[in-house]
Amino acid sequence: MVREPEERRFTSLEARIDAAAHGLLDRLPASGLFGGLTEFLVFGIKQAFACLFGGAMLALMLGTKLYWPEGAGLARYDFLFLSAIAIQISLLVFKLETIAEAKVILIFHVVGTLMEIFKTSVGSWIYPEPSLFRIGGVPLFSGFMYAAVGSYLARVTRILDMRYSGYPPLLATLLLAFAIYVNFFSHHYIIDLRYVLFGATAILFLRTTVHYRVFRFRHRMPLLVGFLLVALFIWFAENIGTWSRAWIYPSQHDGWTLVSVQKLGAWYLLMILSFVLVTLVHRPRAFAARSSAERTAPQPAAAEAFASEIGDGGAAAKGVVVR
């Protein structure tokens, strides 16, 4: 893990949003039941903000499922692909995403599309609708589904200022991620090693704790639990995606059914792979324990850094603290 100077947690627009939010939230109680509810509320808002890309894609899938004009000159899948590109450009133009996060999305799109081409060729799932922008049986919007996972992980790492204790060596995590990716292909021809990979993941990350700042305080969680929770939410999203027939499994050909809970295992391993890929852009930073006063005190230095970028909005930015 690296120990490095504070990096900017927000883009200039995000800093303005954060300053405005603090103008409201700082008035709320800091302790007791209402203090806990405030932390929970901010946690939910920040999680939703980190999910901007994936949430927008799910909304488009649902919207086009509920209403797509018959005889439209543009295929639904092609619309999703072009929309994904437009969303990505918009996030960069409006400074809601960093260039580094855009690189993560590109990496995930390539890695995901390659796996999609293979998985559809062996019948793991299918895309039932026609499209122009496709490679074989894979419409190109599908790569953005993997990119959405990468985008979320990169953004939430930055927004929640995640730090780690007991983090394993980077090389070991890269080897594990490589083995997971290979197994997604090889288990169709040789023995499925997913249970071995589950065990290796548990051994490697058993002592790893993620420390994250929500609003006023830092919280912590075993990283393995975090992986499982994110995998669970991806499984929920997959049910939305298959209900909208953005893609379907063979068992859903004659009508939608709930995606098997067994898929959670695959998503859990994909979470590990995704997380490790993100660490190539956002290197894991070590958690340095502080006194209780330091943990809750504002840190104006970072806010001053934002002021120079924001210019005329600098006075407002000075209210931003590293949370």
Decide: 246 and 279 in contact? Cβ < 8 Å.
Answer: no
Sign of the CA dihedral running 249, 250, 255, 259 = negative
- What mean pLDDT value characterizes the chain? 84
Residue 2 falls within a domain, yes or no? no
DSSP per position, 211-245: EEE-SSSEEEEEHHHHHHHHHHHHHHHHHHHHHTT
Residue 307 falls within a domain, yes or no? no
Q: 191 in the Ramachandran plot: left (φ > 0), alpha (ψ -120 to 50) or beta?
A: beta
Decide: 267 and 90 in contact? Cβ < 8 Å.
Answer: no
- Mean pLDDT of the 64-78 span: 91
SS3 271: helix
What is the reported pLDDT for 308? 37
For the cut 90, the answer to whether the pLDDT of residue 282 exceeds it is: no
Which residue do the tokens 């204790």 mark?
165
- Condensed to tens digits (0 to 9), the pLDDT of residues 210-220 reads 999 988 889 99
CA distance 131 to 120: 15
Name which of 161-175, 237-251, 255-269, 288-302 the model is least confident about: 288-302
Which residue from 265, 267, 275 is spatially nearest to 241, judged by alpha carbons?
267
Decide: 260 and 155 in contact? Cβ < 8 Å.
Answer: no
What is the reported pLDDT for 28? 78
- Condensed to tens digits (0 to 9), the pLDDT of residues 18-33 reads 788 877 777 777 777 8
Residue 1 falls within a domain, yes or no? no
What is the reported pLDDT for 320? 31
> Looking at the 3D structure of the chain, how many domains does it have?
1
What is the reported pLDDT for 183? 96
Decide: 207 and 299 in contact? Cβ < 8 Å.
Answer: no
Q: What pLDDT band is residue 5 in, cutting at 50, 70 and 90? A: very low
What is the reported pLDDT for 1? 58
CA distance 191 to 62: 37
Residue 298 falls within a domain, yes or no? no
CA quadruple 53, 54, 56, 57: dihedral, nearest 10: 120
What is the reported pLDDT for 12? 74
- Cα angle vertex 55, ends 155, 243, to 5°? 140
Which residue from 285, 284, 282, 273 is spatially nearest to 175, judged by alpha carbons?
273
- Condensed to tens digits (0 to 9), the pLDDT of residues 299-319 reads 443 344 333 333 333 333 333
Residue 121 falls within a domain, yes or no? yes
Q: What pLDDT band is residue 8 in, cutting at 50, 70 and 90? A: low
Residue 320 falls within a domain, yes or no? no
Residue 67 falls within a domain, yes or no? yes
Distance of CA 17 to the CA centre of its chain: 20
- Mean pLDDT of the 164-183 span: 96
Q: What pLDDT band is residue 95 in, cutting at 50, 70 and 90? A: confident
- Condensed to tens digits (0 to 9), the pLDDT of residues 126-159 reads 999 999 999 988 999 999 999 899 889 988 998 8
- Mean pLDDT of the 202-213 span: 95
Scanning the chain, the segments in alpha helix (DSSP H) are: 12-25, 32-50, 52-66, 76-93, 99-121, 143-159, 170-186, 194-205, 223-243, 263-279, 292-296, 300-310, 314-317
DSSP for residue 96: S
- Mean pLDDT of the 114-123 span: 93
Inter-CA distances, 288 with 4, 7, 159, Å: 11, 15, 18
- Mean pLDDT of the 171-187 span: 96
CA quadruple 61, 66, 71, 73: dihedral, nearest 10: -30
- Cα angle vertex 111, ends 108, 114, to 5°? 140
Residue 284 falls within a domain, yes or no? yes
CA distance 105 to 8: 20
Which residue from 298, 299, 313, 284 is spatially nearest to 95, judged by alpha carbons?
313
Quote the pTM value.
0.81
The contacts of residue 216 (CB under 8 Å, 6+ apart) are: 30, 35, 38, 39, 296, 323
What is the reported pLDDT for 11? 74
Q: 198 in the Ramachandran plot: left (φ > 0), alpha (ψ -120 to 50) or beta?
A: alpha
CA distance 106 to 102: 6
What is the reported pLDDT for 295? 47
- Domain assignment of residue 109, given as a range: 31-289
Query: Residue 134: which H helix or E strand, with range?
Result: strand 134-135
